[in-house]
A and B are shown apart, each in its own frame.
Chain A
Amino acid sequence: MNIYIQGTGCVSPQETAQGGAFPENVLPWEGARLKASEPDYKQWIDVKLIRRMSRVIKMGVAAAQLSLQEAGIQQPDAIITGTAYGCLDDTGVFLSKMINQQEEMLTPTAFIQSTHNTVAGQIALMLGCHGYNNTFVHKGFSFESALLDALMILKEGRSKSILTGAMDELTNHSFNILSRFDLYKKESVTPASLLHSQTHGTVAGEGAACFVLGTEKGTNTKAKLTGVTTLYKPAGKAEIAADIAAFLAAHNCSEDEVSLVISGRNGDASGDEWYEHMENNALAGKPVACFKQLCGEYPTAASFGMWLGAKVIAEQRVAEAALFRGTTPTEIKKVLIYNHYKQTHHSLILLTAC
Chain B
Amino acid sequence: MENLMAALKAQIVEQLNLQEVKPEEIGDDQPLFKDGLGLDSIDALEIIVLLQQQYGIRIANPEQGPEIFYSVRTIAEFITAHQTSK
A binds B: yes
Which of B14-22, B26-34, B67-75, B78-86 lines the interface with chain A? Answer: B14-22
Do B46 and A51 have beta carbons less than 8 Å apart? no
Q: Is B53 an interface residue (CB 8 A)?
A: yes
Interface string of B30-68 (1 = CB under 8 A from A): 000000001000100110010011000000000000000
Do B46 and A108 have beta carbons less than 8 Å apart? yes
Do B17 and A51 have beta carbons less than 8 Å apart? yes
Pick from B18, B45, B49, B52: contact of A51, CB under 8 Å:
B18
Q: How many Å lie between the Cα of A108 and that of B42 in the bound state?
A: 7
Q: Is A250 an interface residue (CB 8 A)?
A: no
Q: Is A52 an interface residue (CB 8 A)?
A: yes
Q: How many Å lie between the Cα of A170 and that of B16 in the bound state?
A: 24
Q: How many Å lie between the Cα of A208 and that of B4 in the bound state?
A: 43
Q: How far is the CB of B62 from chain A (nearest CB, A)?
A: 15
Do A105 and B17 have beta carbons less than 8 Å apart? no
- If A105-B49, A107-B49 touch, whether A51 touches B16 (CB-CB below 8 Å) is yes
Question: What's the dominant secondary structure at chain A's contact region?
Answer: helix
Pick from A47, A105, A108, A109: contact of B19, CB under 8 Å:
A47
Q: How far is the CB of A109 from chain B (nearest CB, A)?
A: 6
**Quick one: closest B residue to A53, CB to CB?**
B17
Q: How many Å lie between the Cα of A193 and that of B49 in the bound state?
A: 51
Q: Is A27 an interface residue (CB 8 A)?
A: no
Q: How far is the CB of A99 from chain B (nearest CB, A)?
A: 16
- If A48-B38, A112-B42 touch, whether A105 touches B18 (CB-CB below 8 Å) is no
The range of chain B's interface size is 10 to 19
Q: How many Å lie between the Cα of A112 and that of B53 in the bound state?
A: 20
Q: How far is the CB of A214 from chain B (nearest CB, A)?
A: 34
Q: Is A231 an interface residue (CB 8 A)?
A: no
Chain A residues lying within 8 Å of B52, measured Cβ to Cβ, are: 105
Chain A residues lying within 8 Å of B38, measured Cβ to Cβ, are: 48
Q: Is A21 an interface residue (CB 8 A)?
A: no
Chain B residues lying within 8 Å of A192, measured Cβ to Cβ, are: none
Q: How far is the CB of A96 from chain B (nearest CB, A)?
A: 15
Chain A residues lying within 8 Å of B18, measured Cβ to Cβ, are: 51
Chain B, range 2-28, C-beta contacts under 8 Å to A: 15-20
Q: How far is the CB of B14 from chain A (nearest CB, A)?
A: 11
Q: Is A106 an interface residue (CB 8 A)?
A: yes
Q: Is A354 an interface residue (CB 8 A)?
A: no
Q: How many Å lie between the Cα of A48 and that of B38 in the bound state?
A: 8
Q: How far is the CB of B56 from chain A (nearest CB, A)?
A: 10
Q: Output the residue of B17, B45, B49 with the most chain A CB within 10 A.
A: B49
Do B19 and A107 have beta carbons less than 8 Å apart? no
Chain B residues lying within 8 Å of A47, measured Cβ to Cβ, are: 19-20
Interface string of A95-117 (1 = CB under 8 A from B): 00000000001111100100000
Q: How far is the CB of B53 from chain A (nearest CB, A)?
A: 5
Q: How far is the CB of B12 from chain A (nearest CB, A)?
A: 12
Chain B residues lying within 8 Å of A107, measured Cβ to Cβ, are: 15, 45-46, 49
Chain A residues lying within 8 Å of B20, measured Cβ to Cβ, are: 47
Interface string of A46-58 (1 = CB under 8 A from B): 0110111000000
Do B19 and A51 have beta carbons less than 8 Å apart? yes
Do B53 and A109 have beta carbons less than 8 Å apart? no
Q: How many Å lie between the Cα of A108 and that of B38 in the bound state?
A: 18
Q: How many Å lie between the Cα of A105 and that of B54 in the bound state?
A: 11
Chain A residues lying within 8 Å of B16, measured Cβ to Cβ, are: 51
Q: How many Å lie between the Cα of A107 and that of B17 in the bound state?
A: 13
Chain A residues lying within 8 Å of B15, measured Cβ to Cβ, are: 107
Q: Other than A51-B18, A108-B45, give 20 A-B pairs with Cβ distance below 8 A.
A: A47-B19, A47-B20, A48-B38, A50-B19, A51-B16, A51-B17, A51-B19, A52-B17, A105-B49, A105-B52, A105-B53, A106-B49, A107-B15, A107-B45, A107-B49, A108-B42, A108-B49, A109-B42, A109-B46, A112-B42
Can you give 9 contacting A-B residue pairs, CB < 8 Å? Answer: A48-B38, A51-B16, A51-B17, A51-B19, A52-B17, A105-B52, A106-B49, A108-B42, A108-B46
Q: Which residues does B use to contact A, with CB under 8 Å?
A: 15-20, 38, 42, 45-46, 49, 52-53
